[in-house]
Structure 1
Amino acid sequence: MKFNKLALTVALVWMQCKVYSQQVALLDSDKYYVVIGAFSVHANANRFVSYASSLDLQALYGWNATRNLYYVYVLRTDDRYKALLEAARLRTDAAFYDVWIYRGEAAKDTDVRGDIDPVSNQEMTHVVVADSPERAPDISRAPEAQVTGGTATAVANSIDEREGKRFFFKLYREDDESLVAGDIDAINVSLSRKIGTYKGNTSVLVNPDGKPGDVTFICDVFGYRKVQSTLDFNDPLAQDGISQDTSNNIVVPFSLVRLKKGDIAIMYNVYFFKDAAVMRPESHYEVNSLLDMLKENPRYKIKIHGHTNGNAYGKIVYGGDAKNFFSLANSHDGFGSAKELSEARAKIIRDFLVSNGIGKERMQIKAWGGKRPVQDKHSAKAQENVRVEIEILED
């Protein structure tokens, strides 16, 4: 009897998939996962778990049937806020730049489902597949690789440096030359496209993402004036001030100066719960940076500007615990205008600073509501309108 080769092949593939489905657990539909990498190849996911374990992370992997990918994760929990906190911690402390949260379809406490950006709290339409053909990394070496970034993307980049160069972005204060924690955004000038975000004061691999040419590096650390440097990616050492260290990293210095009178800085990493004058937990780092800045220079006086997306009236959620500025516990609902919401959000930052020893007389409040948008309120980037700005009145 003759066999149909195509039918036989399909049957064998189906049986292999069935075996894998029995061996690899599906991600639970009612849990939250802090995900550090996504893989299309089972062996690569397994190796990345080994790599994460070498960093003292308790990593596991599961099958995301929606995306047909293996997700490597370090936390599985019922608590959304616990997941947010862990994602924020990893991004800050372990430099897992592209950590995200996967939320099962059956979770009940938020409307956001699937893959969630922990910064914007919005659903992600695309996730980086670390072993996709366009990246083609040799993940088999991941457990032994010296990776500073820590993400699946960083593992891939650390192994294949054929198209990239290693950089060391030195972020330091101009007055005392002490190092400053922060990130660098890289822009491919010819393509007008962002290449990526890289951690400062450590060795990182930068890939120009297309035909190499001029690349602009932007340093925008809260509390300091923005600095940028443009250089030829093909010959970066030709530019004055650029050097190479003993590890062959291209050293790009960023001398940072504290904000001065008249400067206005956006608190990009301060976020609020929906319709609430309560900060989300991942806002801790940036408001503490503002606190440090005010403690460092007692002459600083600031104005806190609050902005919303649009000018509609609606629900306003107020915090219930005066000592906890990052939780909805014991909160209560009110009603008011967008201007009132923006004012309440500016005040919650002021109250946080006062509770930590900053004199109330050093701060003013300005509520704008939706009068000064930076994006169209109906656009995909409308969330950028919801922001707080700090204006330096005296220094």
Structure 2
Amino acid sequence: MKWNRLRISGIRNIFFILVLVTTAAINRSQAQGQSYPYYYVVVGGFAIKSNAEHFTTHVHELNYPARYAFNANRKLYYVYVRVTKDKQQARETTYRLRLETEFKKAWIYNGPLEGSGVAESTAEAEREEAHATGNNVVAEPPAADTAAIAHTPATDTLSSSASSRLAKTFMFQLTSGTANTPVAGSVHLLDKEPDDLVEQYPANQKVSVPAPTTGKLVVVCNLIGYKLAKRTINFADPLKSIKGASVGEEQEVIIPIKLVPVNRGDYIELEHIKFFEHSAILTPASEAELLELVNFMGNPRCRIRLFGHTQSDASGEIITKGTSADFFALDPANNHSKHGSATELSRQQAEIVKAYLVSKGIAPGRIATKGYGAMLAIYENAAANDRIEVEIIRN
């Protein structure tokens, strides 16, 4: 049955009130540091299940593959239009919804959901997306080895017992371009189900890898300047599971991973660049990812735009580098301090990343900056909204 205009208006009002509550209470969301393999693009949250059902129907009428599920931590039913393991795709979908649709407050939830409205597998969800007519949300191709959605924190499947199991020697060979130019970097290995992080390994050299409990490993490479690459390995017979895999001179299994460079208009989220509180001063842990960005900018054709984002729109003290020579430490004698807005803080954070790149020899004219403050605080986990993003202007 179609809604009448009054009922739609009432549900929308409830929805927007709940969005405001979500934004105000964002610090009470999932525990900091907890990692889940799936990202939900959420367009509404409701305390009453029937309201979630009605809103899901409304979203379906707009040709979006909506579902609802229960967030036990928030005691809310979430209506979402996409679930994916790819954080970048979730971010792009959320931006598109905010800019092009009525869902101006869409956000990303990375955590467990439960309830009858949850699709039991991403394969099912993606099949429904692919068949949705007029769908503005880009559907992902279903993977043959897609795991079921995890609704509880994953256990450490490669814990202390892993070292006692049979190991194999691998070489994860990263290349790019038609000439298969070697690419320096590292890969992460994840146990197949439920995609628990196993270990980070250097690429292009021999490494010993313990057998996973499930018999399968997912190899993930997420280097700055390249699109995310994944390979699923059957540990018992890797040569058959990976096209082009071979055996090296010392019986190591060589896994080829050809990386695809990012294109103009692509966005990269610098997940490991962090700042000291109330400041535009980088923490020491940021340096490794910044050096990756320096390597990417080694291509003289490359032009980028840096965007700063914050979790809050509150004004307050802003500490900047000032005359200090250190990018990665507080230096009270030489740092500067002033009162400013969240937009100014985010702009200063983008500027200090630019300053670091310039200190490494990158021409300043190749780097633009902009601060958004909390305007695009799209993650329910508040801390995740303090971030730096890179837009590729030319590559």
TM-score of the two chains, using structure 1 as the length reference: 0.53
Q: Percent identity?
A: 30
1:71 is aligned to none
2:57 is aligned to none
| Aligned positions, number | 236
Asked if 1:242 is matched to 2:245, the reply is yes
Q: Secondary structure at the match of 2:372?
A: strand
Q: Secondary structure at the match of 2:286?
A: helix
* CA distance in 1 between partners of 2:343 and 2:210 (Å): 44
- One-letter code aligned to 1:309: Q
Q: Secondary structure at the match of 1:237?
A: helix
Q: Of 365, 368, 390, which residue of structure 2 is paired with 1:364?
A: 368
- One-letter code aligned to 2:306: I
* Contact map agreement 1:266 1:389 (CA 8 A) in 2: yes
Deviations 1:347-379 (A, max 9, x none): 1112233344433332222222233345324xx
How large is the Cα RMSD of the aligned pairs? 2.7
1:179 is aligned to 182
* CA distance in 2 between partners of 1:357 and 1:184 (Å): 27
Relative to structure 1, is the Cα distance of residues 337 and 228 closer, same or farther in structure 2, using a 3 angstrom cutoff?
Answer: same
Asked if 1:392 is matched to 2:395, the reply is no
Q: Secondary structure at the match of 1:265?
A: strand
Q: Of 320, 323, 341, which residue of structure 1 is paired with 2:322?
A: 320
* CA distance in 2 between partners of 1:306 and 1:134 (Å): 37
Deviations 1:203-242 (A, max 9, x none): 22333542224x3211111222221112322321113211
- One-letter code aligned to 1:393: I
* Contact map agreement 2:324 2:335 (CA 8 A) in 1: no
Q: Which runs of 5+ in 1 are unaligned?
A: 1-127, 137-155
Relative to structure 1, is the Cα distance of residues 295 and 236 closer, same or farther in structure 2, using a 3 angstrom cutoff?
Answer: closer
Q: Of 219, 227, 230, which residue of structure 2 is paired with 1:228?
A: 230
* Contact map agreement 2:206 2:252 (CA 8 A) in 1: yes
Q: Which runs of 5+ in 2 are unaligned?
A: 1-155
Q: Secondary structure at the match of 1:342?
A: helix
1:307 is aligned to 309
Relative to structure 1, is the Cα distance of residues 321 and 281 closer, same or farther in structure 2, using a 3 angstrom cutoff?
Answer: farther
Q: Secondary structure at the match of 2:343?
A: helix
* Contact map agreement 2:279 2:345 (CA 8 A) in 1: yes
Deviations 1:240-277 (A, max 9, x none): 21112232222111222433212211223322222210
Deviations 1:269-296 (A, max 9, x none): 3222222101123433332332333342
1:135 is aligned to 160
- One-letter code aligned to 2:198: I
* Contact map agreement 1:301 1:363 (CA 8 A) in 2: yes
- One-letter code aligned to 2:350: A
Asked if 1:354 is matched to 2:378, the reply is no
1:202-351 equivalent positions in 2, closer than 5 A:
202-213=205-216, 215-239=217-241, 240-297=243-300, 299-321=301-323, 323-329=325-331, 330-351=334-355
1:25 is aligned to none
* Contact map agreement 2:186 2:201 (CA 8 A) in 1: yes
* Contact map agreement 2:344 2:373 (CA 8 A) in 1: yes
Higher relative contact order, chain-length normalized (CA < 8 Å, sep 6+): 2
* Contact map agreement 1:341 1:369 (CA 8 A) in 2: yes
**Once superposed, which parts of structure 1, at least 4 consecutive aligned residues long, lie more than 4 Å away?**
none
* Contact map agreement 2:282 2:329 (CA 8 A) in 1: yes
* Contact map agreement 1:224 1:258 (CA 8 A) in 2: yes
* Contact map agreement 1:188 1:208 (CA 8 A) in 2: no
* CA distance in 2 between partners of 1:276 and 1:324 (Å): 14
* Contact map agreement 1:320 1:328 (CA 8 A) in 2: no
2:41 is aligned to none
